[in-house]
Structure 1
Amino acid sequence: MRVDLFDFTLPPERIALRPARPRDAAKMLLVPSEGPFGDHGVRDLPRLLTPGDVLVFNDTRVIPAQLEGYRGAARIGATLHKRVDLRRWQAFVRNAKRLKPGDPIVFPAGVEALAEARHDDGSWTLFFPGDEPVEVLLERAGTMPLPPYIAGKRATDEADRSDYQTMFAAKDGAVAAPTAALHFTPELLAALAAAGIGHETLTLHVGAGTFLPVKAEDTDDHAMHAEWGTIDAATADRLNAVRAAGRRVIAVGTTSLRLLESAAGEDKVIRPFEGDTSIFITPGYRFRAIDGLMTNFHLPKSTLFMLVSALMGLDRMQAAYAHAIAAEYRFYSYGDSSLLLP
């Protein structure tokens, strides 16, 4: 499909630079398969779902993967986006033309990395010498890797250390938050449980590639970035039992959805999964593992807007986004939410 079919005009003032406070005070647009859209709040979720439904959250934890340093006198910026092994990370590098293999990059707080190898996509493998875990080094020298549409408008600050982390964050490895779950609080989770709505967790370490623009003119020519994820056998069994009983599995966020779909076969059975996925979901895709999606509002011509258009239909999502813009919903990572029920 032509990428320009997924374009729309978003007024800059609709981009949220801070999250709602409290988190569950955000607005939420209900998008059913047909009929009028519903203007709600995230706190309405318990009554918008059905007892027996199960929400699936991503329990990845965002690491402070944005680094600013120097190679000699040249300023170098690095955004780690995928772990290679215990001491190596693949990174997008700013001012990479000043690097050659073997060059040391000096970051704050005594942290150093070696530019080990350049890849065809322009990224680099960085090697962090020493005995301290890389995660410890990042906590000392790194900052939270806010998306460019936020970081380009304001500086990262201490509030982002908690704001850009979900209540489910448990497993280090993401360099972007699974933002749909940023709206959840212990109080909302308790209200959902009281309404008979369960939840499960899986892990997908979100990469910085999620923010890369689609440069191709046709979706067939776009190469999707890979991200590492895992679903254990017990979780897969419980989710399969939910659907077998005629109840719904609702993915919270496109990251949860992409991993569930990667783990499901043509028979619509979710199986244990561990490894990389580069699944790219566009209109025409037949969903196997989910019955709905809670997600924030996405960028024009992005792979994520293509995904929600695959779930609900392109015309339906263009109409939903036009409604959201007119009703002054807040967009992107720190913005409001939508509940898509095909």
Structure 2
Amino acid sequence: MSAPLMAVYGATGHTGRLVAAELIARGRDVILAGRDDARLRAVAEELGGGPRVRVRQAALDDPAALRELAEQATVLIHCAGPFTHTGQAVARAAIDGGCHYVDHGLEQHHTRWFFDALPEPAARAGVVMVTAMSFYGGMGDLLAGAAAAGLTGIERVIAAYAVSRWRLTAGAKATAELLFADTRRITYEDGAERIGYVEPRNAVFPFPPPLGPRTMIAPVPFPEVVTVPRHVRTRRVEAQLTAHTFQEEHVFTSEHVDDATRAGSEFTVAVQVINEHGNQAARVSGRDLWRLSAVASVEAAIRIADGRGPGRPGVYSPAEAFAPGPFLRDLERLGLCTLVLPEAAMAR
């Protein structure tokens, strides 16, 4: 049996290069894919890897090339945002080509489309598809699954992101502009999804020391409102982001900073799961949210390729696809973060 072949779509972007480098470092066979053949070949040369690395040009408006890419791959990791524009073409190609799929999407409507449109096609094709395996959205979903372990009667889940020194790529900047301009936001209240305009507000989230309470933008249009209710029975889900994150100098003019500067982000993601008896919390802290996101998607793809993913084909959120406590602990063991989890999370 041949070794699993891992495709990275959007391999010339910052996240794509990090994903490809991690796969190569783990001895995996990799296809670097995207629209620009010359840039793909330059990245392949930069990363090394020799005969384990090949290049495949496949533009978003070339469904035949995308399908041929998927037919060659065991798992396709999609890194090219904004996923509002790129997600459907690559996801459908993965189904048509019969390969498993992981993406870094964080747009709410992209995530909702996945769960609305793709479960039956994915099941027929026999593929596993994990969406929202990103820092924003993915960490909140995994932590919510961990924090909710053993609890019943849950009233509210809050995913709070404290981020400093974040430097956006061109793709991330375009995604942020789309997210915050969208007036048809998805919310989850009273046990049901709603779509419509949401008046933003300031809130205070009680991060533990050394951060302490922080002023937050609430709600922010992250995908937890779609993903968390799939595996946590609750009446309300909300994501929040520290107000200072987008107020920092250069955050929206940082597309061309070097990799070392971009790696300087600092983060804490904390999730509170609240019921009538109190709350249970989980959190992750560290540096370089880009690398955490990239390695999380690699961990997901390798688990799927090696037969350690979900037992059935279909569409999954991160915490549906993998036991969240052990998955997060593996990220911690790789030196990517520091975790605080309830004991019950590791029993799942």
> Does TM, scored on the shorter chain, surpass 0.5?
no
Structure ranking higher in helix proportion: 2
If asked which structure has higher relative contact order (CA below 8 Å, sep 6+), I would say: 1
TM-score by length of 2: 0.29
